Amino acid sequence: MKCFFFSFFSFLHIGAFLKTLEHFYFSETRVEIKESVRGQDIFIIQTIPRDVNTAVMELLIMAYALKTACARNIIGVIPYFPYSKQSKMRKRGSIVCKLLASMLAKAGLTHIITMDLHQKEIQGFFSFPVDNLRASPFLLQYIQEEVRNHHFTISLCPSRAQSYAERLRLGLAVIHGEAQCTELDMDDGRHSPPMVKNATVHPGLELPLMMAKEKPPITVVGDVGGRIAIIVDDIIDDVESFVAAAEILKERGAYKIYVMATHGILSAEAPRLIEESSVDEVVVTNTVPHEVQKLQCPKIKTVDISLILSEAIRRIHNGESMAYLFRNITVDD
């Protein structure tokens, strides 16, 4: 990920401040700032590698060290915001994303720049400004330049396809349902409200209890025969659902299948599953390091989004408007 880091310097013509970041043998992290940052605006560029918790702790300690050193503003540039999938209460869990937002504020961060939050409402978790940039212009440009005959393409996704279809003047199909999983949720009352198998009325109450959901198998609504299918999402991690969708699209007559996402986490066996699947190409941005996965699977392609992050840094530092970076972005994007 060094290329991603140093690309900021080439765009902005700046250098990094000197620091020491050490990991002791007992797994503690120490940060020391080697030069004065008093009264300065400091941008911390933190990508999230495989070890998420270590990266988060490094960010917190770095921010606190800069706060202690009297930096004027501490801006975190976090292309992929970790724990964004844990932004809702599930069973007896917790809203970890809200906890992380509070920890970052306490550590001293005053602003965050990120890309395509899993839920836009996450911005409300923070007590300071958050600029949630979009990667869709770069992915749309990739489609126009790299996907041959893209005018014969159809866009698919449970939630994000409409924006792509409207901008590229494409047809729209919908993937409904999920890949069937052999592991079932334990029905032990951990849901809120608790799930029940049948709708019943408690004696003395008029309100029926909530019925349990049943996930339908994957189905495609729309004609994909003889077309290029593009499945769009914000995160691609466990790829079983994408692989299952690709198999159905092939059965329905799609002759080429692309999967596009902003954040390519691609954990566990994802590269192998993609390589063995009907997916022709997986296109992700470089918000998350995935060089090893690309070596394992030639189908994975990368789109560089460091330019928009560099421009955001420049505008924030110079006190310029950020509106240009959000032009043509609607509330549904």
Residue 208 lies inside a defined structural domain of this protein: no
pLDDT at residue 296 in the model = 95
Do 56 and 157 belong to one domain? no
**Based on the domain organization, do 282 and 256 belong to the same domain?**
yes
Q: State the average pLDDT over residues 88-113.
A: 95
Is the same domain home to 318 and 297?
no
What pLDDT sits at residue 82? 96
CB atoms within 10 A of CB 327: 7
In a domain, 200, yes or no: no
Tell me whether residue 202 is in a domain.
no
- Residue 319 and residue 280 share a domain: no
Residues 6+ apart with CB under 8 A from 268: 238
Domain count, the chain: 2
Regarding whether 121 and 31 lie in a shared domain, the answer is yes
Class of residue 214 by CB neighbours under 10 A (exposed 0-12, middle 13-18, buried 19+): exposed
pLDDT of 186 > 50? The answer is no
Residues 115 and 122 sit within 8 Å (Cβ to Cβ): no
Strand partners, 173: 156
Q: Is pTM, for the whole model, over 0.75?
A: yes
Q: How confident is the model at residue 172 (pLDDT cuts 50, 70, 90)?
A: confident
Assess if residue 209 is contained within a domain.
Answer: no
Let me know: does 286 contact 303? Beta carbons within 8 Å: yes
Mean pLDDT value of segment 8-31 = 67
Q: Are residues 69 and 164 in the same domain?
A: no
**Domain at 103, CATH number:** 3.40.50.2020
The predicted-structure confidence for 29-81, as pLDDT tens digits, reads as follows 888 888 899 999 999 999 988 789 999 999 999 999 999 999 999 999 999 99
| Cis peptide preceding 193, ω within 30 of 0 | yes
**In-domain check, residue 123:** yes
pLDDT for 184 beyond 50: no
Residue numbers of the domain that contains 121 = 2-134+307-326
Residue 243 lies in a domain: yes
Chain-wide mean pLDDT for the chain?
Answer: 84
Q: Which residue has the higher pLDDT, 110 or 15?
A: 110
pLDDT tens track for 241-290: 999 999 999 999 998 999 999 999 998 899 999 999 999 999 999 999 99
249 and 130 belong to one structural domain: no
User: Do 256 and 223 belong to one domain?
Assistant: yes
Q: Are strands 130-133 and 111-115 parallel, antiparallel or unpaired?
A: parallel
Task: Please report which confidence band the pLDDT of residue 199 belongs to, taking 50, 70 and 90 as the band edges.
Answer: low
129, 11: one domain: yes
Query: Which tokens in the block code for residue 37?
Result: 């940052």
Q: How far is residue 317's CA from residue 181's CA, in Å, rounded to a whole number?
A: 48
Q: Is residue 201 assigned to a domain?
A: no
Cβ–Cβ under 8 Å, residues 225 and 252: yes
**Is residue 114, in this structure, part of any structural domain at all?**
yes
Q: Is 80 exceeded by the pLDDT of residue 298?
A: yes
Please report the pLDDT score of residue 30 as a whole number. 87
7-12 average pLDDT score: 59
Residues 168 and 54 in one domain: no
The amino acid at residue 302 is T
The angle, 0 to 180 degrees and rounded to 10, between the axes of the packed helices 161-168 and 136-146 is 50
Instruction: Verify that 38 and 110 share a domain, yes or no.
Output: yes
Q: How far apart are CA 109 and CA 66, in angstroms?
A: 9
Is residue 160 domain-shared with residue 287, that is, in the same domain?
yes
